[in-house]
Structure 1
């Protein structure tokens, strides 16, 4: 069977939207972050997104964000790219965080659309261009209108692709037609930011994923893409469907993905710690259900031909 392997994408292929571990007292757990990062890379991730929303960026300080990057770098070395979330609703602050991420050793930055203020498309473009100009690092745009209130429209994305440092997109737009339009007209590397779209986006030319599921099942996420790259699309599809119940429980329920992911990691004995307010921890019933789904996925993946 003919291989469908693609050129190497700019930040790797299997990226995890890594949680930020805290101690039981709520402080930044740099040792835990290093141990978790090393495990993720060992089990299939070739990139990590730090200080994203799943990493509780709204409630970590600028100092904590800067400290996390070298701690993870020490743990993974050059075995994975590190993309630092720097997005805020303030263009000036976002540019400052991009500079700080470069100084801390990040390989790239993830920049979300300014949220709550609902800027017009011209303002959205100006925001991203200013941040891209502020740092020497390559930029991954983050399109998630369900959270920010503002879409990066396909025509705006196509315009932004002309900037030499805007090279990738984390897509949570739920607009598959718009995504394909941008893929067809630009060289932007598209990463699925919603785990349910992992295989579908990859099949039409996506670069890979920035996965929440990757925190708890990195080998399974990598296996979906490995199967597709090997031309075994049937196996890739089966693996994607087998992950669906856990994906739904992690990211499709009422609880934020950070809450569910940390609950499951804690039950697995892996670094996580509590969430920071205003988030509240998952209850025991929820964490029991997550643990059962994780065990089921692990068992089924081992049996999938």
Structure 2
């Protein structure tokens, strides 16, 4: 197990507050970022899946980075940035924006439009991505989330990339939900930061060498996730909460619950084509959240 100083730690895959119509609500973003950092997150990850990152263009990304940095959040220590694009040039532009703003590192998904692509094709794509970024590239975490991209990052591809770009690829986020895959990554690439997206598997993975998580539930209960990351301590409350969230459209559920935590329904809007939960579903979800989290204090 890595020392606390070396550990990647807990990063909130921060939800992106939207106004009706789809523009980013920057004041709510800043408020929420400060909130999760104060309650136990080591950093935030902008533009991830939970943050609807693939739907956010460069103008929104620029505004979000600027708002957080302007609010005193240190990009060099507290901000990672997701990269999600089908086009190589767009992926490079997303990465440059974040790196030029001083972001600590990148969470990079594979190109996701074409399916059934080979490891060789992905190796060439990532190689070109790194080469176009040049010396500015740093602290890249590869993002394996096949349920969304339908493009896997295999154990073998990680080997090729870390060997070809030593010191640049520092980790992989495994959001497959398949613990056997996490085990394979830990066995083959234990010197990298293996991060677990499914919070229900987090403590077990940490006990076996994983370094933390970039996850959506950190929007809601970061103080419960921190002992999982730093002590490998199981949390039945977190498990129950994730089970409940996964019974709904996950991104909309996390965003609705973020508003519930803040007592602010203004966090509920989604950017099309995603849709917010209806009012009846929100009420059931909020009641379940309250029941689950209050059981922890009983």
TM-score (norm 2): 0.88
SS in 1 for 2:129: helix
Q: Distance in 1 between matches of 2:221 and 2:290?
A: 10
Task: Measure the CA separation in 2 of the matches of 1:33 and 1:148.
Answer: 26
Structure 2 contact 237–293 (Cα < 8 Å) conserved: no
The change in CA–CA distance for 1:139 and 1:183 in structure 2 (over 3 A counts) is same
Structure 1 residue 113: Cα displacement? 1.6
Which residues in structure 2 correspond to 1:74-223 (within 5 Å)? 74-75=70-71, 77-78=73-74, 80-118=77-115, 119-133=117-131, 134=133, 135-162=136-163, 163=165, 164-186=167-189, 187-223=191-227
SS at match of 1:190: strand
Which residue number corresponds to residue 248 of structure 1? 243
**Regions of 4+ moved over 6 Å:** none
Do residues 71 (structure 1) and 67 (structure 2) align?
yes
CA distance in 1, matches of 2:41, 2:197: 15
- CA gap of 1:5–1:168, structure 2 versus 1, over 3 A, is closer
SS at match of 1:161: helix
Query: Alignment length, in residue pairs?
Result: 288
Q: Distance in 2 between matches of 1:196 and 1:223?
A: 13
Determine the C-alpha separation between the residues in 2 that align with 1:293 and 1:72. Answer: 32
Quick one: distance in 2 between partners of 1:219 and 1:49? 17
Separation in 2, partners of 1:287, 1:131: 41
Flag structure 2 segments of 5+ consecutive residues without an equivalent: none
Change (3 A) 1:131 1:57: same
* Whole-angstrom distance in 2 between the partners of 1:161 and 1:41: 30
TM-aligned CA deviation for residue 226 of structure 1: 4.1
1:14 and 1:210 in contact (8 A); partners too: yes
Counterpart in 1 of 2:42? 46
CA displacement 1:179-208 (0-9 Å, x = unmatched) = 323323332101111222211221211110
Please tell me the root mean square deviation across aligned C-alpha atoms, in Å. Answer: 2.1
Aligned to 1:225: 229
Q: Paired residue for 2:256, among 263, 287, 292?
A: 263
SS in 1 for 2:15: coil
Separation of aligned partners in 2, 1:188 and 1:212: 22
Q: Does 1:23 align with 2:23?
A: no
Q: Structure 1 stretches of 5 or more lacking a match? A: 229-235
CA 1:205–1:151: 2 relative to 1, 3 Å: same
**Comparing 172-181 and 141-150, the one that deviates more:** 172-181
Pick the aligned partner of 1:287 from 265, 282, 286. Answer: 282
